[in-house]
């Protein structure tokens, strides 16, 4: 599943091809995503110029003068920039053809992604309005904030970190990685997290995500960087997906457990 680093990598990949370009055609081949692609999308977008391409959580926001296109990649979506006449692959559901004759092409085999249009403030959209702070560039995501939430909740620290209302963009992979870096067992009750551990966790989340973005996202599944180069962060994951392999820190075997129905990886010696 594309996580925040993949979405941010996609944003950076597509931005230079879209900003200040007008849309000359919108081709919807299959509108049946998680929610239907609005049938008036071609009417809304043709002839309009893209102003900015930003990101909120795992949503990409393509802003026009009169509204914003929200794109979510779901479980298996990916975006590419290709010449508009590029041969179609299965599951190529949507093309935004730009004046440069390149197009933004959405491919999504499992169709859990979404393409939605709003003419209002996108931050107030029902899907975005209750999202927690951005982990990387919102100062609200700080140790005091996390510590206070930890005290109030009754769940594991890993589940708390994966809650989009607490902080956005920390999916299963990066929750495992950040907790390993912090030395905190993922199943620990959030109310038992100390202030200094909250500090470590915040720091680790930021560094794990920043590193992944820098390296172009993981290649775990279905991800093609928009410029065609695959990402390569997968080899550098410290615990995620490494069950029974030696911990890079202590040599102990990496363990796995189901937490909140998700496979969770940790080192039982390094994480308490």
Asked about 177 being catalytic, the answer comes back as: no
Active site residue 36: no
**Do residues 100 and 85 make contact, with C-beta atoms less than 8 angstroms apart?**
no
Residues 199-258 that bind Zn ion (CB under 5 A): 247, 249-250, 252
Tell whether residue 170 is a contact of Zn ion (CB under 5 A): no
Q: Which residues pair with 67 in a beta bridge?
A: 64
Q: Which is nearer to Zn ion, 43 or 250 (CB)?
A: 250
By CB under 5 A, the count of residues binding Zn ion is: 7
Dist. CA 94–CA 72, nearest whole Å? 13
Active-site pick, 58, 102, 105, 242: 58
Minimum distance from residue 177 beta carbon to Zn ion (Å)? 13
Residue 91 among known ligand-binding residues: yes
Residue 267 to residue 176: CA distance in whole angstroms: 10
- What part of residues 253-272 is at the interface with Zn ion (CB under 5 A)? 267, 269-270
Judge whether 153 is annotated as a binding position. Answer: yes
User: Among 34, 51, 262, 269, which one carries the catalytic annotation?
Assistant: 262
In the DSSP assignment, the letter for residue 74 is: T
58 in catalytic set: yes
Catalytic residue among 3, 6, 15, 177: 3
Would the annotation count 154 as a binding residue?
no
Torsion of CA 71, 73, 78, 79, to 10 degrees: 10
Tell me if residue 56 falls in helix, strand or coil.
Answer: strand
| 65 is annotated as an active-site residue | no
- Of 9, 2, 8, 74, which Cα lies nearest the Cα of 35? 74
Q: Whose Cβ is closer to Zn ion: residue 41's or residue 270's? A: 270
Comparing CB distances to Zn ion, the nearer of 39 and 272 is 272
CB-wise, 115 or 247, nearer to Zn ion?
247
Nearest-angstrom CA–CA distance, 56 and 68: 12
Least Å distance, CB 160 to Zn ion, is 23
Distance CA 166, CA 168 (A): 7
Q: What is the DSSP string of 140-181?
A: TSSHHHHHHHHHH--SBHHHHHT-TTTSSS--HHHHHHHHHH
In angstroms, what is the minimal distance from the CB of 63 to Zn ion? 45
Which of residues 202 and 239 has its CB atom nearest to Zn ion in the complex? Answer: 239
- Residue ranges binding Zn ion (CB under 5 A): 247, 249-250, 252, 267, 269-270
Task: Give the residue numbers annotated as catalytic, written as ranges.
Answer: 2-3, 58, 262
């Amino acid at each position: 599943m594309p996580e925040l680093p993949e979405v941010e990598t996609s944003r950076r990949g597509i931005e230079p091809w879209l900003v200040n370009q007008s849309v000359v055609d919108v081709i919807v081949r299959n509108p049946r995503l998680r929610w239907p692609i609005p049938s008036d999308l071609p009417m809304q977008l043709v002839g309009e110029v893209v102003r900015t391409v930003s990101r909120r959580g795992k949503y990409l926001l393509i802003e026009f003068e009169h509204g914003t296109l929200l794109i979510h990649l779901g479980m298996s979506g990916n975006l590419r920039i290709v010449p508009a006449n590029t041969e179609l692959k299965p599951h190529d559901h949507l093309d935004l053809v730009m004046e440069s004759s390149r197009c933004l092409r959405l491919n999504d085999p499992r169709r859990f992604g979404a393409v939605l249009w709003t003419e209002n403030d996108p931050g107030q959209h029902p899907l975005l309005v209750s999202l927690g702070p951005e982990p990387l560039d919102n100062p609200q995501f700080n140790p005091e904030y996390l510590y206070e939430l930890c005290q109030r909740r009754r769940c594991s620290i890993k589940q708390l970190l994966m809650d989009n209302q607490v902080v956005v963009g920390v999916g299963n992979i990066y929750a495992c990685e950040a907790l390993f870096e912090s030395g905190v067992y993922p199943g620990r009750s959030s109310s038992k997290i100390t202030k200094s551990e909250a500090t470590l966790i915040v720091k680790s989340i930021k560094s794990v995500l920043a590193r992944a973005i820098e390296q172009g996202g993981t290649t775990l599944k279905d991800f093609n960087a928009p410029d065609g180069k695959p990402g390569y962060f997968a080899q550098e994951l410290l615990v995620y997906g490494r069950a029974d392999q030696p911990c890079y820190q202590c040599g102990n075997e990496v363990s796995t457990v189901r937490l909140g129905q998700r496979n969770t990886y940790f080192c039982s010696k390094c994480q308490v």
